[in-house]
Structure 1
Amino acid sequence: MATIKLSKDYLKNELDLPYSAIVDEIVETSRWSIHHRIVFEDKGKFYQAYYSEGATECQDESPWEYEDEIDCTEVELREVKMKKWMPVEN
């Protein structure tokens, strides 16, 4: 698994993340924070990273507020088959 470290300033200022992410999904919530997974492109490769933001207007937490370098894992888009429970049709 290829992982690189990118600076918070590079992600926010040069790539305009998390706003320009290809994918931005909520993966977990806690009492004070909403935790996201994003996928973004940089120099022809795609990476995923995680960030948190405040869950309410009283929580002053912005993406990567407490980190200077962020671990970014290289990813690729693949087709995945899955099974899902569905109602029986008569």
Structure 2
Amino acid sequence: MNVLTPPTPENVAEMLTSDYHDYHNGNDWWPSISADGPVISVGITPVGDDYETKLPETHFQAHVFQVDPELPIASEPVYLDPDDARELTYERPGEGFDGWTVVANEPIDTTRWKSHHRLVIRNEAGEHFAATYSKGLTEQQEARPWDCEETARFDPVARRIRVVQVHEWVTPAKAEEAGQ
């Protein structure tokens, strides 16, 4: 009697990228693959040499999305005049001036009197830089970004794509139609 290899995300990926799109580790897998738009569904049934011994089918999904080309990465930080850096905090993504374009301006945290942000900018060479700054939440807090700094330092950053699996509970369509 042989021991069947249960499928895991790693060995399913290995199977899908192998030359023969097959996975043999002392037994066979019976795959079923289908697509619904950019979502690929994969079912794997491990089967023994006797074709009678089987493990239950295990289901996987692969989500296909386009990946932009790699961007150049700077090796050194850049230093901007605080007034110029401050002006960039008021620009929307895609806007900018003096050779700098705002890519993102993301809130990071909020304390009682200040909000903290990360500003990502791009130069004309396509290199990206980021700096954090704080600003006062009311007119009573006169804290402006880089107010007490001689320069605003922006460190080189690289874009990283992160795929996150989120479980969401939704009402099935039939229950919604029935008014439940």
Q: Which bracket does the TM-score occupy, shorter chain normalised? A: 0.7 to 0.9
For the structure 1 residues 2 and 89, does the alpha-carbon distance in structure 2 shift closer, same or farther, using more than 3 Å as the test? farther
Q: CA deviation at 1:71?
A: 2.7
The residue number in structure 1 matching 2:89 is: 18
Q: Does 1:55 align with 2:137?
A: yes
Q: Secondary structure at the match of 1:22?
A: strand
Amino acid corresponding to residue 85 of structure 2 in structure 1:
L
* TM-score in terms of structure 1 length: 0.75
Separation of aligned partners in 1, 2:75 and 2:171: 45
Identical counterparts, % of pairs: 28
Following the alignment from structure 2 to structure 1, what is the Cα–Cα distance between the partners of residues 150 and 167? Answer: 43
Moved over 3 A (4+): none
TM-score, normalization: structure 2?
0.42
In structure 2, the gaps of 5 or more residues are 1-73, 92-101, 173-180
Shift of 1:59: 0.9
Tell me, in whole angstroms, the C-alpha distance in 2 between the residues paired with 1:84 and 1:66: 42
Q: What CA distance in whole angstroms lies between the structure 2 residues aligned with 1:56 and 1:24?
A: 19
Q: Which residue of 1 aligns with 2:109?
A: 28
Q: Which secondary structure state, in structure 2, belongs to the residue aligned with residue 11 of structure 1?
A: helix
For 1:68 and 1:89, how far apart are their aligned partners in 2?
56
Bigger radius of gyration among the two: 2
State the partner residue of 1:4. Answer: 77
In structure 1, give the amino acid aligned to 2:105. Answer: D
Q: By percentage of residues, which structure has more strand?
A: 1
Q: What's the C-alpha RMSD, in Å, of the aligned pairs?
A: 2.3
Unaligned runs of 5+ in 1: none
Q: Which amino acid aligns with 2:103?
A: I
Which residue number in structure 2 is paired with residue 86 of structure 1?
168
Read off the aligned partner of 1:77 and give its amino acid letter: R
Contact 1:3 1:71 in 2 (8 A): no
Question: How far is 1:89 from its partner?
Answer: 5.9
* 2:121 maps to amino acid: F
**What is the deviation of 1:78?**
3.5
With a CA cutoff of 8 Å and minimum separation of 6, indicate the structure with the bigger relative contact order.
1
- Structure 1 CA distance, aligned partners of 2:83 and 2:158? 24
Distance apart, 1:5 and its partner CA: 4.0
